[in-house]
Amino acid sequence: VRHDLRLKRPEILSRDELDTIYLSAVYLLKKVGVQIQHDETVNLLKDNGCDVGKHNIVHFPEHLVKECLQLAPSQITLCGRDPKRDMKLGRGTHTYTGVTFMNHIMEYPDRKYRISTMKDCMDIYRLADYYESIDFTHNCQGAMEYGKWNAYAGYEAGVSYSTKHCHISTPIPDVIDPICELASAMVGGKEELRKRPIVSAQYCAISPLTWNREGCETLKKEAEWGIPTYIVAEDMMGATAPVSLAGNLAQKIAEFLSGNVLMQLMDREHPVIFFAADEGFDFRTSQCAFSTINNHVLKWAIGQIGRYLDVPVKSCTTSDAHVLDAQWAFEHSFGFLSGMMSGVDELVGGIAGGAGLTTCLEAYPLFDESIITARRILEGIDVNAETLALDLIEEICAKIENGLRAGYFIDQRHTLKWMNIEQRPRRDMVFNKDKLDMWEKMGSKDYYQRAHQEVKKILREHEVTPLPEDAKKKIFEIRKQYEIKPEERSTTGNMPADNSSI
C-alpha cells in the first residue's frame, strides 16, 4: 500500500481566517482566562508570569502561550510493541487510523447491549492487530469489571493482544502509574519509555476553559513519565461552546494552548497532540451528538489547524446510531473521508457508536473498507505510459472474431497488477458483490451477518505475537502491588441514561 499523498489538501480556512481564529484563542486566554481547579498548577502558572484572579481564573500572557507552543515538538513518534508499527506523527504527512472502544458491547445477533469485559478487550485488540488499516488502538472504556483500574486492565489486554501502539484514557490519575510501569518494563526502563513511548494518554479540558483537579493531576503524571499527551478539547457546539464554528474552534484552540502551557512548564519539550474531538449537540434530544453536519465541517478544518499551529492533531469519528445500521455506516464513512481529506495526523473511531458509548465488533470490516477507500482517494490517479495502457488497448481491440471485436481485459497481466494496486478488491466476502440468485443461495445474508462470520473467523485464526515472559511476570507483579483484580459484578447492564459518563 502506498502512503504518499498526491492530492493537495483542501483548505477550508484562508490564512487570514486562521490568523483571526488563533488570535481570538490567544485573546480568550489573556482576557477571559482559564479556571484551574488545582492549587499546585495555579502556583506553577503564577511563577511563570500568569495573572491569577478570583476563583483561580488564570490569565495567560501571549508570550508564554507562544513560547510554549514553540517548545511543543512538531513531530512525534508513537511506538508499537512491534517497531514496524511505529507511527511518525506531524505536519499532516500521513493520517494514521485507529479504533476506539467504549464501555458497552453490542452483541450479535440481537443487537442488545451489555457492559464490556476484559474478554471483549482481548477480542477488540486481536482484531485491531489483524487489520492492516488499523495503526493504533484507543482504549476509551473497557474491561469494566476492573472498576477504577479498567484503563490499566484495558492496557494489559492491549499489549498482550496487539503489537500496535496503545493509547489510553482515564479520568483517574492514579491509574497512569501502573500503566507506565508496565510500558517501561517492556521497553527497558523509564528513560527508554521516553525514547520509545509504547503508550500515550490523554485528558480533556472541561469546556468552557477549565482544567479540573483530576486533569491537572493526570497531566502531571504524564509529564513525570514523559509519555505523549493528548490534550483533548471537547467543546459541544451550542452547549459548552459556541455553536458557530469559528468561535467553537477559537475556544478549542484556547483549551489546547492552555493545556500545552501546563505540559511544557511541567516537562520542557513534552510531546503533545491536539485532540480536537468535534462534539456537536442535538437541540431536540439535548444529547451530545458526534455526527452532526457541523461535526463533519469541523473535521475539514482540524488538519489545517494542526499544520498552522505546527503540532500533531487528532480527530475522531463516532456514530450516534445505537445499532450497526445505515446511519452508522453513513456517519462513520463520511467522518473518515472528512478527517483524512483534512489531513489530521491521527483519526480514531470506526467501531464506536451510540454517541460514544457502544462498541460493535462487526463494524471492523466497515472501518477497514472506509479507510482503504479514503486512502485510495488521497493517492489520486497515476498517469504514465503503463497506466494509460495504450498498447494493451490496441492489442485487445485488434482481436476480431466473426467480424466483431472480441477482446477483453480480464485475462491480462496488466489487469492483475493494476487491479491490485488501484482497485484493491477485498479478499473477504463481507461486502456483497454477488448476483441476486447467488446471494440468495448463500443465505441472503446482510452486512451484519457476513461481518459477524468474518470477525469470528479472524478471532479464531489470527495469532498475535506473544508477550515476552518477563512482561507477563511484570503484569503479575503490578497486579499484586496495586491489588488489581476484577470486581464481583454483573457483566450485563443497561446503557446510561445520558452521555455524562464520557
Partner 1 sequence: MSQTDLVEKIRSAVLEYDEKKVVSLVKDAVDRKIDLMKVLDDGLTKPMAEIGKKFEQGEIFLSEMMLTANACLAGVNLVKPLMLQKKARATLGKILLGTVYGDIHDIGKNIVRILLEVEGFEVVDIGKDQPVDKFVQTAKEIEPDIVASSALLTTSRLQQQLLEDALKKAGMRSKVKTLVGGAAVNEEWREKIGADAYAMDAVLAVHTVKELLGKG
**Is 54 among the residues that bind partner 1 (CB under 8 A)?**
no
Cα 206 to Cα 388: distance, rounded to the nearest angstrom: 54
In the set 57, 246, 429, 464, which binds partner 1 (CB under 8 A)? 429
Q: Which residue has the cell 518477563?
A: 470
In the set 5, 206, 419, 459, which binds partner 1 (CB under 8 A)? 419
Piece in contact with partner 1 (CB under 8 A), picked from 119-127, 301-309, 412-420, 449-457:
412-420
**CB of residue 399 to partner 1, shortest distance in Å:** 10
Cα 238 to Cα 287: distance, rounded to the nearest angstrom: 11
**Is 460 among the residues that bind partner 1 (CB under 8 A)?**
no
Nearer to partner 1, 46 or 441 (CB): 441
**CB of residue 396 to partner 1, shortest distance in Å:** 12
Nearer to partner 1, 282 or 395 (CB): 395
Angle 287-315-119 (CA atoms, 0-180°, nearest 5)?
Answer: 75
Structural contact between residues 22 and 253, judged by C-beta atoms closer than 8 angstroms: yes
**Is 390 among the residues that bind partner 1 (CB under 8 A)?**
no
Nearer to partner 1, 401 or 483 (CB): 401
**Is 427 among the residues that bind partner 1 (CB under 8 A)?**
yes
In the set 8, 55, 284, 413, which binds partner 1 (CB under 8 A)? 413
3-class DSSP assignment, residue 3: coil
The grid coordinates of residue 262 equal 501546563
Cα 334 to Cα 351: distance, rounded to the nearest angstrom: 14
Nearer to partner 1, 91 or 424 (CB): 424
In the set 438, 492, 493, 496, which binds partner 1 (CB under 8 A)? 438
Nearer to partner 1, 54 or 427 (CB): 427
The grid coordinates of residue 204 equal 480533556
Distances (CA, A) of 360 to 71, 352, 356, 409, 455: 39, 7, 11, 40, 11
Rg (CA), the chain: 24
Piece in contact with partner 1 (CB under 8 A), picked from 89-97, 212-220, 236-244, 437-445:
437-445
**Is 411 among the residues that bind partner 1 (CB under 8 A)?**
yes
The runs of H, that is alpha helices, within 170-240 are 176-187, 190-195, 213-225
Cα 166 to Cα 81: distance, rounded to the nearest angstrom: 9
**Is 406 among the residues that bind partner 1 (CB under 8 A)?**
yes
Residue type (1 letter), 378: L
Which residues sit at the interface with partner 1, rule CB under 8 A?
A: 401-402, 404, 406, 408, 410-413, 415-416, 419, 425, 427-429, 435-438, 441
